Amino acid sequence: MTKIPTAIAILQLQEQGRLSLDDPVVRHLPFFKVRYPAPTSRVVTVRHLLNHSSGLPDLGFGLTRWVHLEGEPPVNQTAFAEKVLPDHATLVFEPGTHAVYSNLGYIVLGAIIEKVAGQPYEDYVREHILIPLRMTQTDFIMTKAMRAHRAAGSQPLLDRWTPLLPFVVKHWGAFEREIDGGHLWFNFVYTDYTPSTGLIGDAPDVARLMLAYLNDGELEGQRILRPETVATMTSADRMGSAVAAFPDQRQGLGWVVACGTRACLQHMGGGPGFGTEMRVYPREKLGIVVLTNDMTTDTDAILRLAASVPWDHEPATRAPGPH
């Protein structure tokens, strides 16, 4: 779900006049050299990366190779993007024609943030999103304040993906902690690709992010986005999905557009050991988040159940505003 803070960071930089969503990516990253489907193809822009319409491929199980253990140094995101891109530089479709989810696109966005802001991606997000919103239990590393509350990731032994994990997860010997209660339990690892999926946090902190979003970009006097920018992120640049399994799904700026006529925006997350999902209903001023330490949990079913509760029928004494 880190892609939502990454999208917010890009939109902040546009508000500051330091980039435009319509900038060609190569304007900010000279190493961004991709192979287009045709000589007449549209150039890949920042906007294309945000709504997954760039044509960059996803990295699939390849992502499991790029992790590191506690105590190992953090990964420079610009150097990481420059290293990974050449092997995946052939666009799989014409930019701007439809959407296919791409973690690589958000890895590139992290490098753009570093170039434009002049500081590490992680420091920018801390300074401009986490600290203003007082998300004290969220970071890219396990802080002392977070360590006492961290959950161990797990995976059911009786699952089709379990036999594959030792072959696809780097550092498997150090990653596997124990078998207990019909589950594999994992030691902690960090991802190398933080703009795509690097944040670690708890549900109350995600709630604070959603509260700010539902309140037009402001929470407790701290503004992270202008109201007009939130409106753009909510409704603009929606692309149809090219994935046959999701023919009606549309991809916006960071958010996946879902829920049909009820109108909600959501983003899932996960990987070995964890499954997460958050959803906001802008018209209803409702936000729901589910974080689990089991990658097989049906988070979408839990969200649907939670959303079926008549939240707007609560007693009138309840404080007004997003919830």
pLDDT in tens, 160-198: 888 888 877 777 888 888 999 999 999 888 999 999 999
Give pLDDT, residue 104: 96
Asked if residue 275 lies in contact with residue 159, where contact means CB atoms within 8 angstroms, the answer is: no
d(CA 30, CA 25): 8
User: Per DSSP, what are the bridge partners of residue 222?
Assistant: 219
What pLDDT is attached to residue 55? 96
Label the pairing between strands 218-219 and 189-191: unpaired
φ and ψ of 194, to 5 deg: -65, -35
Tell me the two tokens of residue 285. 């001023």
Structure tokens at 269: 């997350």
Q: Which of 38-52, 54-68, 153-167, 177-191 has the highest mean pLDDT?
A: 38-52
- Cα dihedral 134→140→143→148 (10° resolution): 90
Q: What angle do CA 126, 13, 212 make, to 5 degrees?
A: 55
Q: In order of start, what are the domains of the chain with their CATH numbers?
A: 3-138+193-312 (3.40.710.10)
Poorest-pLDDT segment among 91-95, 187-191, 245-249: 245-249
Average pLDDT over residues 109-119: 98
Average pLDDT over residues 126-148: 95
Q: Which of residues 248 and 287 earns the better pLDDT score? A: 287
What pLDDT score does 318 carry?
Answer: 45
- 3-state DSSP helix/strand/coil % of the chain, to nearest 5: 35, 20, 45
Show the CA angle centred on residue 112, arms to residues 108 and 113, nearest 5°.
115
Q: Phi, psi at residue 110, to the nearest 5°?
A: -60, -40
Residue 287's φ and ψ, nearest 5 degrees, are -130, 140
List C-alpha distances in Å: 158 to 84, 162, 201, 291: 34, 7, 28, 21
Confidence of residue 243 (pLDDT cuts 50, 70, 90): low
* Model pTM score: 0.93
pLDDT at 77 over 80: yes
Mean pLDDT, rounded, of the chain:
91
Q: Which of 16-20, 110-114, 144-148 has the lowest mean pLDDT?
A: 144-148
- By the 8 A CB rule, do 4 and 10 touch? no
Q: Hey, what are 9's tokens?
A: 């960071």
pLDDT at position 315 over 80: no
